Amino acid sequence: MKKLILRLIVAALAVATVLALAGCDQWKTPYEKIGKDGYNVVVRFDAGDGKFSNRNDVYVVDTFRMTDFEKNQDGKHEIPLITPDSSFRPMPYSASRDGYFLAGWYTERELRFDENGNMLDDFGNITTDPAKQGYIYSGLWDFENDTLKVDPASAPTTDTAYATLYAAWIPNFVFEFYVQGESEPYDTASTINLQLPTWKNGKQSLGSLPGIDGKSFTGAYLDPECTEVITDTITGEVDYAHGITASPVTKVYTTWRDGEWFRIEKLDQLTRYASETGCYELTCDLDFEGKTWPRVFTNNGFSGTIEGGGHKISNVTVIQSDNSILQGGIFKVIGDNAVIRDLTFDNVTYSITAGSRKTGASFGAFASAVSENATLDNVTFNGTLEIVKSRTLALSESSNHTVGIITGNGALEGLSGTVVCILTDGDVKTPITPDDSGIIDISLLGLDQ
C-alpha cells in the first residue's frame, strides 16, 4: 500500500522561529505550493513496520527552505533536524510498533543476513520467511549534534527526498527467570525494562517480575551462583551502531523465601496485614499505647514468622473476657513451624477475667502454648499477667487447667523475660509466685468454682 505523506514545514530550531511558525497558516500550505515558496529540501521519516500516530500508512516529511540556513566553510547549508515527536512541532507525530521499542533514526538500512547468507529475523534468528526478515542499520542520527549538509549545486527539489531517516525497531527483550539452583526457567517475560520488586506501605510489589505462589522475593542476580546482584531496573543490550538487539534473551536468577512477607515500617502496617500465617520483618519499634493488638493473634494464634531485627513491641494490653475461651495469651498459641526471632515485648499486660470451665483450658501472658516445632530465638517478654476473680472465671487443677506467667507450657528455650503475676480481687491485688518453670499453682488462686 502506497504511503500517504504528512508534510510539515520546519523553518528552524530557534525558539523565536518555532513560535512564529506555530501560529502561521503556512503550516497548512498545500504541498504543491511549498516548492514555489522555496521549501525545496525534503527529509522523510520512514517508520518501517511501525506506525505514526497509530497510522501505518504514512510517512512524516519535513520540508526546509535551504536559504534559511547558514553555509559552512564548504559552502553547504547546515540544517538541524528534529524528531517526529519533538515538542517543538505544532503537531508532533509519535512513532510506535507493538512489541517493539525505537532504538533511533538511521540514514541507511539493508536486509539482514548471517555470514552464510541466511535470512535473519529481528531477534537474530534464522528465518525462511521473507516477511519476517529484519533489517540492519547504519548512520544513527544524533539530533543534538548532527546537521543535514545541503550542497546548493545539487539543486534539491520537492520531487524526491533529499534524505530519509529509518526507524530501527528493537523487539522487546525476553527475560528468562530462574530460581537459584534450578536449570529450567520458572517463567519468562517480554518487556523493555525489568522493574524489580519494591516495598510500598509494607507490602511487596513484584513489578514486572513473575511471582511464585507461596513465596516472597529476596534477590535477583545476573549469574547462576547469585553473586552479581541486580540492584536497579535492568534491560537488555542494544547494538546502537547497527540498530539491532545485542541480547535477545537475558537470564535472571532469583532467590525467594517461603510465605507472604511484609516489611513493617509503622504500627498500622502490622495491624493491617496481621494474619495467622503472615511473615513480618520489623524495621522499627512499635508502640501499642492506646492501640489495639491484632485480634487475629489472640483469637487464632500464630504459625508465621516475625523477624524482629532487634526491635521492640511495647505497651500491648489484652483483656480476655470471653468465657468460651480455652486458650489465651497475646498469641492464642504459637503453632507448628512458627518462628519469632530477635524481638523484645515490653510492658505487656494480659488480663484474664473469664475463661471456659471445660477441661484443658490453658493461659499464659505470651501464649497458652508453644508448639515443639516452633522456633523462638532471642525473644524477650516483659510484662504483667493479671488474673481477675469473677463469676465467669473458674480455674481448677481437677479440670486440668494450666496458667503460666509467660506460656501455659512453662519455661522455653529462646524465650526469656520478667513477668509479674497479680491476682486481682476487687481493690485487692495479690502477687502470685510461680514455680521454677513459670507455672502457677492454681489452688492458690481460689478460683475453683
With a pLDDT cut of 70, the percent of the chain lying above it is 85
Helix (H, G, I), strand (E, B) or coil at 344: strand
43 and 148 in contact (C-beta within 8 Å)? yes
- pLDDT number for residue 39: 77
* Tens of pLDDT, residues 134-168: 999 999 999 999 999 999 998 887 778 889 999 99
Q: Is residue 418 over pLDDT 70?
A: yes
Confidence of residue 402 (pLDDT cuts 50, 70, 90): confident
Which among 296, 370, 295, 365 has a CA at the least distance from the CA of 340?
370
pTM: 0.73
d(CA 175, CA 188): 6
Confidence of residue 443 (pLDDT cuts 50, 70, 90): low
* Tens of pLDDT, residues 67-116: 888 999 999 999 999 999 998 888 888 999 999 999 999 999 999 999 99
- pLDDT number for residue 398: 47
User: Could you tell me which residues are beta bridge partners of residue 189?
Assistant: 175
235 and 222 in contact (C-beta within 8 Å)? no
Q: What is the mean pLDDT of residues 377-400?
A: 73
Q: What is the mean pLDDT of residues 42-67?
A: 88
